[in-house]
Amino acid sequence: MKKKTLLMALLAAGLMLLPGTAPRPADAQETTTLRIATLAPRGSSWMRVFDAWNNTLRQRTNNRLQLRVYAGGSQGDERDVIRKIRIGQLDGAAVTSTGLSLVVRPVLVLQAPGVVTSYQQLDRARAAMSEDFGRQFQENGVRFLGWGDVGEGRIFSNRPINRPTDLRSVRPWVWRDDSMFGEFLSVVGANGVRLGVPEVLPALSTGQVDTVVASATAASALQWHTRVTHVTQQANTFLIGATILSEARFNSLPEDLQTALLETSEQAHSTLVSRIRRDDRRYFTALTTSHGLTAVDISAHESEWQQAATQTRNRLAGRLYPRALMDRVMAAARGR
């Protein structure tokens, strides 16, 4: 009997040593994982910052909170991602202005043509509007975690685009959920081809589209630069984005984890803005030197571009954003 008892004790002790069978220490904490989606591919400037953010967050919380970032559009286009956040299949996303507008449409005013004309103006405008927009996102069930940049919007094409009317003779891509560039094309008498972001590279390969508006960073990361020959030297817009999280998911976190998330997010997004602005300049230089794209100087037709921009933003006032909001943002951008 004693031998049997001893044998049972040894077996029990052995089982305790098997992976997954040992009891957790009384003070051990479960790891909470926030599922975040983005169109940015692995290895891109955005993903390098998010990986660093995740490492910082895990260290700050002793591995109690971490990010799982689904990169490269693996969760679908931004409309798909926003829908998945709303039904709880995702917790958050790093999205462009297009994705943000599916939650709070007036945020598009920050990217309306000619509303901001420099990064300094963009910084002033976002600082002035962050509290208001943050409240609007919260009212729509989303916690705003931080602004991000996508870079300077340039026109990539397979023939020179010097003036707005040149867009009439090409096949420009229009993001399926975009409400702004399509209006710009309408103003200049051109038509676009509506596609989701994952469809753009195949469409460039087949000639379904031959012109895209993107930052040098995005065009490089998404390999669009391999299917075009020209890029405008001057930018015609500043492309923005942000990271958002389900408000319900945020509220489910303990208070100390909420604090850790917000504080590390602020640091990460500050780094992201700086890195994207630096990298975007470097990518543009590389594309027009090492990769052989021809830079097109559109400065001779600046007044035509400005006129088209003014018409576009005025047409959209009252539809995408209130005119009073546009006036307020433009005044803040210019320090008035």
26-63 pLDDT per residue, tens: 445 799 999 999 999 999 999 999 999 999 999 999 99
32-333 carries CATH number 3.40.190.170: yes
Give residue 10's pLDDT.
37
With CA atoms as reference, report the closest residue to 172 among 198, 193, 144.
Answer: 193
226 Rama class: left (phi>0) / alpha (psi -120 to 50) / beta: alpha
8 A C-beta contact, residue 228 and residue 158: yes
> According to the model, what pLDDT value does residue 179 have?
86
* CB burial readout 187-213, b (16+ within 10 A) else e: bbebebbebbbebbbebbeeeebbbbb
Q: Measured between alpha carbons, how far is 192 from 209 in angstroms, rounded to an integer?
A: 8
What is the model's pLDDT at position 28? 53
| 3-state SS assignment for residue 145 | strand
Q: For the chain, give the percent of residues with pLDDT over 90.
A: 90
Residue 328 has pLDDT above 50, yes or no: yes
- Judge whether residue 14 has pLDDT over 80: no
For the segment 254-264, the average pLDDT, to the nearest whole number, is 98
Cβ atoms of 322 and 313 within 8 Å: the answer is: no
pLDDT band at 236 (very low <50, low <70, confident <90, very high): confident
Tell me if 140 sits within 8 A of 262, measured CB to CB: no
Return the axis-axis angle of helices 119-139 and 323-333, rounded to nearest 10°.
140
Give the C-alpha separation, 88 to 239, whole Å.
28
β-pairing, 92-96 with 32-38? parallel
pLDDT(15) > 80: no
Token pair 């895209």 is found at 212
What does pLDDT average to over the chain? Answer: 92
Q: How far is 180 from 234, CA to CA, in rounded Å?
A: 19
Torsion angle, CA of 109/113/119/123, rounded to 10 degrees? Answer: -10
